[in-house]
Structure 1
């Protein structure tokens, strides 16, 4: 945000009030009881709302307050009731209504949108990996069938037959082990390979999308949190893709286990299935709770990462102010919120897994008891036409056990998939956003000859994030070609804003800006910005050489162009005297250059 963006002009002209509620802008109400006859800022609006009946439009005013006072940069949809109470700007009577009006749940993408950046090679890898994961999943329950044959062989009265049967079954187990190895390797390797390939494309497109956005979007975002998203949301999306192979594997195990159990003996399988709902309910409840707590923890740690990045990138300033303790306290506060979420997550995980294990062992107890009853009562197994035997009971039991175990094993994969879908939503939302001022657009005209006649005609402007702070009430200004103009005024009066409007970083709220008599909103944005040479109030250099920094100013520039530009800027002589000349590294933000 520029220097004059957050300032509020005392005694300025009344706020510009667009008709209706366009782009989330709400017309601020006029209250006669206030000294100047109007509400100056959102804090006044909040106080005013306390005296009136709450309605949906008030919610938009609250949202503007949340943008200033958001916890960890979170939006209204991401804040808990406790967070709202801590903010101390919301009427307590309204908190319940706000919580009930906001959209519920975490926004996620559809399953197929996880593969938005997959190409034909990725689909080949994923399909092949899925086939092998299904083979791996089927091979595990197959062991229960051969285990039953092994038990029958061991119970054989003839020792030689028992030995032959055992050796044959042992050989089958060897073949099965080889098959599991053959299936598991490509299952894991292909899904991870594809996930890494897609990760590169996701990161590339996400960064391009961020760089494409206009300044009003950046005003609403924190740059440190954008960087944290690159290191947090992208890995979460990729991990969600990676875990799909594991989910295929466990889902196949579940289906195969219960299928084999039904084939071997449906009577016992039905009884064991009756005990399954508590296990499923416990697992589902745990996954639901963990998803919400994970989201809350991600927000907290994203805020902590932002504080750390901001502190470390401005270490000289922090040290000069002896503010290490202050920054450490801010970092600790963010971590404390993440730790609280982690504690709740640990308790939920422990309770959920404990309930699942209790339900599963209760099911085992029921299955073994009923199996023994089938044997002692000489009940006929309709699958074999013979009375139930111990080997058949064990086969059914372990097949169900194998299938039931996958429910718990699927929980981490389901959580990763859920996190990945949520992370993908946030990333895709940014990628799909088309900015109002798009420098990549090929639309707009270009002037064959530019004289440099600049005019501001009744230009009014407020920053989208601060609709209550009017920066330019009504500016009219003419700068003729070749004329030097100086804008003088107090902080927040709109000096920097005027230049940003000329560069089309923002669009005027009212009025228009003309270049050689042409409204700049009709000109090509990239072409328009290429006309300007600007030294801002706080120039920023990239951590590379002086030459590379100058080359950023013009695409396709040569070394001769660099030298000419340096001479025009009166920098050629002192740069040439440096030990490495134009190849001198300037350091981060130009820290290695002084003066």
Structure 2
């Protein structure tokens, strides 16, 4: 709030009407001298934050040039700051979740090794031989065991990250509400309740996505790519170099698809939201609509807004089909190139077993596929950092008059005598309108006082 220093010229001296209270040793009268400050809630010039070079590069890789050039009101928090409200139990669960994520990421390329062994059995050994049957059953048992292991490891990965996410989000909500309650009247004059709840819900959803299962999927995709590269290059580096181009190609297709879907969805939601507002207006005022015979007009308005969003729905289908098909085109293209080059390497004697070709190709294929799907998860983590900065700014704001503070004098038995002497007050959003203009008032202990404004609706008791 904005306070104006009381003028010494216009000040009114108020005599003490109850001097006898001071003589009572059982009571103690305390005069509070709150700090006088000006413009606590004045508009502070906003400082925009420009993304770092690393963040810009990430956005360009994800085909989000629009995000690379944008300026933010708050500096995004670091990845560790997303877990600012995590306790020791949460960190233990996070570590366990990361271990499960690493195991899940490594297990996928290892399946390529098992599949390569099975391919060698099918192509090398005679189908009716005992060796063929023994080797086939051996690899089948390994596949079944790997499937059971993968089932449990994926379950615990999702479970641990979601558990930590829900626990942290619950604490963030609690601290956010507690911080809102501690703010002063001037702050609420600029931040309306509807805006605060909308900010909380929107940003909490983004934080939930950034520290939940999508963070685990992002880490798993990165581990899977690294493990795939290691396995593939160990078996044959020349074929691996040929297949290496599949990774940026798939990432480009999926990143471009994610950017197109997000852009079109925002435009579609805008028109659908307008249509929803018309429907809500018609339902809430259904009696008025019927009385004025306006049913057809409301339906026409609703249909017109829906028609505007229809084209965006068609565009979503177009881009989804085109870029999704491009993604699988790259996959099949590199599979064909890899098989062609691998067959030539087998012919010249570089490969001794045909299953090794399958190991190299399948390892790179798995790594590129899941890394391509991880680009939306990376965008979710980046958005969570921005959302957390907005939420933390409110949580960290401490007003000068702090109701939660334990500092200051605490009189043991104060007299409830209130004195207002030449008090001036105005709200920061209405600086030209004085609410209090030189108020002088003394309220004695046990006395009931009613304050009435010129407008009866503004009166308070």
Q: Could you state the TM-score of these two structures normalised by the residue count of structure 2?
A: 0.69
Which one of the candidate residues 451, 454, 475 is aligned to 2:437? 475
* In structure 1, C-alpha distance between the alignment counterparts of 2:359 and 2:369, rounded to whole Å: 15
Give the match for residue 86 of structure 1: none
For structure 2, the 5+ residue unaligned runs are 2-36, 50-68
* Gap change, CA 1:104 and 1:202, over 3 Å in 2: closer
Does 1:24 find its partner at 2:71? no
- 1:258 is displaced (CA, Å) by 1.8
Query: Mean Cα displacement is larger for which, 331-340 or 175-184?
Result: 331-340
1:404 aligned residue: 368
Write the distance in 1 (CA, Å) between the matches of 2:326 and 2:246. 13
Per chain length, whose mean CA-contact separation is higher, i.e. which structure has more relative contact order (CA < 8 Å, sep 6+)?
2
Alpha-carbon distance, 1:403 to partner: 0.7
C-alpha distance in 1, partners of 2:392/2:304?
Answer: 30
User: Does structure 1 residue 416 correspond to structure 2 residue 380?
Assistant: yes
Determine helix, strand or coil for the equivalent of 2:433: strand
Asked whether the 8 Å contact 1:247–1:413 carries over to 2, the reply is yes
* Cα separation, 1, equivalents of 2:396 and 2:290: 40
RMSD in angstroms over aligned alpha carbons? 4.6
**Aligned equivalents of 1:430, 1:168: Cα separation in 2:** 60
Q: How far apart, CA to CA, are the structure 1 residues paired with 2:428 and 2:269? A: 27
Equivalent residue for 1:164, pick from 117, 134, 143: 134
Partner of 2:392: 428
CA deviation vs aligned residue, 1:134-154 (integer Å, no higher than 9, x gap): 112211211111111111111
For the structure 1 residues 250 and 174, does the alpha-carbon distance in structure 2 shift closer, same or farther, using more than 3 Å as the test? same
Partner of 1:176: 146
Deviations 1:306-331 (A, max 9, x none): x89x99xxx7xx789889999x9999
Does the 8 Å CA contact 1:225/1:302 hold for their aligned counterparts?
A: no
Question: Which residue of structure 2 lines up, in the alignment, with residue 132 of structure 1?
Answer: 100
Partner of 2:195: 225
Question: Does structure 2 conserve the Cα–Cα contact (< 8 Å) formed by 1:108 and 1:424?
Answer: yes
Distance 1:214 1:362, change over 3 A: farther
* 1:139/1:180 contact within 8 Å kept: yes
Residues 301, 435 of structure 1: alpha-carbon distance in 2 compared, 3 angstrom cutoff? farther
1:440 aligns with 2:411: no
SS in 2 for 1:476: strand
3-state DSSP class of the match of 1:24?
A: coil
User: Secondary structure of 1:117's partner?
Assistant: coil
CA deviation string 1:497-535 (max 9, x = no partner)? xx9xxxxxxxxxxxxxxxxxxxxxxxxxxxxxxxxxx54
Q: Following the alignment from structure 2 to structure 1, what is the Cα–Cα distance between the partners of residues 389 and 303?
A: 29
Q: Choose which of 77, 83, 88 in structure 2 pairs with 1:115.
A: 83
Q: CA contact under 8 A between 1:276 and 1:363: conserved in structure 2?
A: no
Residues 341 and 114 of structure 1: is their aligned pair in 2 closer, same or farther, counting only changes over 3 Å?
farther
Write the mapping of 1:205-220 to structure 2, written as runs, cut at 5 A: 205-220=175-190
What does the per-residue CA deviation read over 1:142-187, in whole Å, with 9 as the maximum and x for residues that have no partner? Answer: 1111111111111224422222211111121122122213322222
Among 174, 198, 206, the residue aligned to 1:204: 174
Name the SS for the 1:471 alignment partner.
Answer: coil
Deviations 1:467-515 (A, max 9, x none): 4xx1129822322446967665479xxx95xx9xxxxxxxxxxxxxxxx
- 8 Å CA contact 2:255–2:372 kept in 1: the answer is no
Q: Which residue among 356, 364, 367 is the counterpart of 1:392?
A: 356
CA distance in 1 between counterparts of 2:403 and 2:81 reads 27
- What's 2:415 paired with? 449
Q: How many Å apart are 1:402 and its aligned residue?
A: 0.8
Which residue number corresponds to residue 150 of structure 1? 118
Q: For residues 411-439 of structure 1, give each alpha carbon's deviation from its aligned partner in whole angstroms, at most 9, with x where no partner exists.
A: 34224323332332222121112234432
What TM-score, normalized to structure 1?
A: 0.55
Match of 2:86, SS state, is: coil
- CA pair 281-194 structure 1, distance change in 2 beyond 3 A: same
- Whether the 8 Å contact between 1:219 and 1:465 is mirrored in structure 2 is yes
Q: Structure 1 residues 264, 488: CA separation in 2 closer, same or farther (over 3 Å shift)?
A: closer
Distance 2:245 2:352 in 1: 20
1:254–1:471 distance in 2 versus 1, CA, 3 Å: same
